[in-house]
Amino acid sequence: MAQQLIDGTQAGRTADAGRERVLDAFRRWGYLQAQLDPLGFLQPQPHPELDEGGEAAAEGRRWYSGPIGVEFMHIPEPDRRRWVQERMEQPIPPVDAPPILDRLLRAELFEEVLHGRYPGSKRFSLEGVIALIPLLDEIIEDAAGRGLEETLIGMSHRGRLNVMVQIVGRTPVEMFAGFEDLDPRSVLGSGDVKYHLGATGTYTTRSGGAVRVKLVSNPSHLEAVYPVAMGRARARQTRLGEAGRRLVMPIVLHGDGAFAGQGITAEALNFTDLPPYTVGGTIHVVVNNLLGFTTPDRQLHSGRHSTDVARRLPIPIFHVNGEDLPAVVRVARLASEFRYAFGTDVVVDLIGYRRHGHSEVDDPTITQPRVYRAIKNHPPLWRVFADRAGLDPQDAPARVRAEYDAAQEEAKKQSGRSPLAQLPEYWSRYHGGCHRARYEVETGVPAATLGEVAGRLTTAPEAFNVRPKVRKLLEQRAEMAAGKRRVDFGT
């Protein structure tokens, strides 16, 4: 009998060890097979340690290879790893669906109204990653419950106008008026293009609390805003004293191409835990549409994900499917909770797609025909979420659209502000230095040379199969070179 008990105990220990080995493999590598891409183009990556069957493997896939994938086993601190593990190995909690549906509707229809009313304007639509709005909602809501009073948001142009309205609190009338007043190709009248401008407002939480939101102005050098947001946050925290890091938190939004490709990202990440520079944790959100202008994800970087540059830090990287809203909400709360628990950075990789071109005047079907065939037939996120949640939006879309239409009509009444044709008088003493005629340099190129270059640029090899749209473009450029058509400059 005693021997049987010993044998049974040993068998149990062996079974437990085997189960733990399988789960540990999914903790380490499960993110490689997570279901992250709403369109299905990012395929699961095989890994020999994940080729397991049985109950433990099913459990591991449920926790680590579903709509959330997390990289955390590179973190050397056991308490941080344990923290992530304990929270990931629980079911995704349900969400309060009606308020989320309303937020999705407002964000998506804002973009649709802009697209319909101002078709020639660049706005860098958020469509395809609309889940950014409920993600930011939950980050700010959770952080406010932990003491947050002010957040500084640094972001590039993708979705900036939508964030101004939905998160910062700018009114739709203000945003539409900007389109009414200005030639979309000009920066005159505002000092800069709309998607570079900063904004300040107040975010009202569900409990009625107020969080000051400052959207930092940014240039076209996308990641340059990241250290600026950190510096401004650190300055505010220093003035507030010991409680500063609890009261002030930066959130930085990145494009997937910029996060992987711009060196300033790696440089600024180095400051994360350095005492003279730390801000007690920045929440990074990679707004990931799996495209960098015209370059697909698999050609953007050498690793599996654009966030690989952050793996050298002892912080978690959460990848989440941008069409699974319960997963998005969960990751947002985890990001805020981790930041406040450990006082360091956390990365959220929000994966979706890009419904239009890099800007709305670009035609993406030339460089990504297969992807955009799928996108054309893909429903907007609010409809996907309503179907999954069993909600009938009834007249909500028409009501929200009517609100935006009324705001656009009001914006027309406020338009007509004369754009600046020249710099204000106080700039009159500045002439850019002592200019001399001898500084003028001949920059012209002989017409024959231009004609030869244009001929080579617009003539395809005989055996080359040119897409119809590209062929038309080449023909137009050839006509420009021959003087048969006015010259324009495509971007």
pLDDT at 423: 60
| 54-90 pLDDT, tens digit each | 899 999 999 999 999 999 999 999 999 999 999 999 9
| 8-64 pLDDT, tens digit each | 555 555 667 889 999 999 999 999 999 999 999 999 999 999 998 889 999 999 999
Residues 97-105: what's their mean pLDDT? Answer: 97
**Rounded to an integer, what distance in angstroms lies between the CA atom of residue 37 and that of residue 354?**
12
Q: With bands split at pLDDT 50, 70 and 90, how would you rate the model's confidence at 384?
A: very high
Give the pTM: 0.86
pLDDT at 185: 41
Query: Phi/psi at 284 (nearest 5 deg)?
Result: -95, 130
pLDDT at 435: 67
Closest CA to 203 of 163, 244, 257, 146: 163
CATH number of 97-414: 3.40.50.970
Q: What is the mean pLDDT of the chain?
A: 89
| 210-243 pLDDT, tens digit each | 999 999 998 878 899 999 999 999 999 999 999 9
Length in residues, the chain: 491
**Rounded to an integer, what distance in angstroms lies between the CA atom of residue 178 and that of residue 203?**
22
| 165-206 pLDDT, tens digit each | 999 999 999 888 878 754 444 443 444 566 677 889 999 999
Q: For the chain, give every domain's residue range.
A: 97-414, 445-491
Residues 273-293: what's their mean pLDDT? Answer: 95
- Kindly tell me if the per-residue pLDDT of 385 is higher than 70: yes
| 401-422 pLDDT, tens digit each | 999 999 988 888 876 554 444 5
Q: Which residue has the higher pLDDT, 142 or 367?
A: 142
Q: Select the highest-mean-pLDDT range: 43-47, 119-123, 354-358, 468-472.
A: 43-47
Angle, vertex CA 234, rays to CA 229 and CA 240, nearest 5: 130
Handedness of CA 74, 133, 38, 96 (dihedral sign): positive
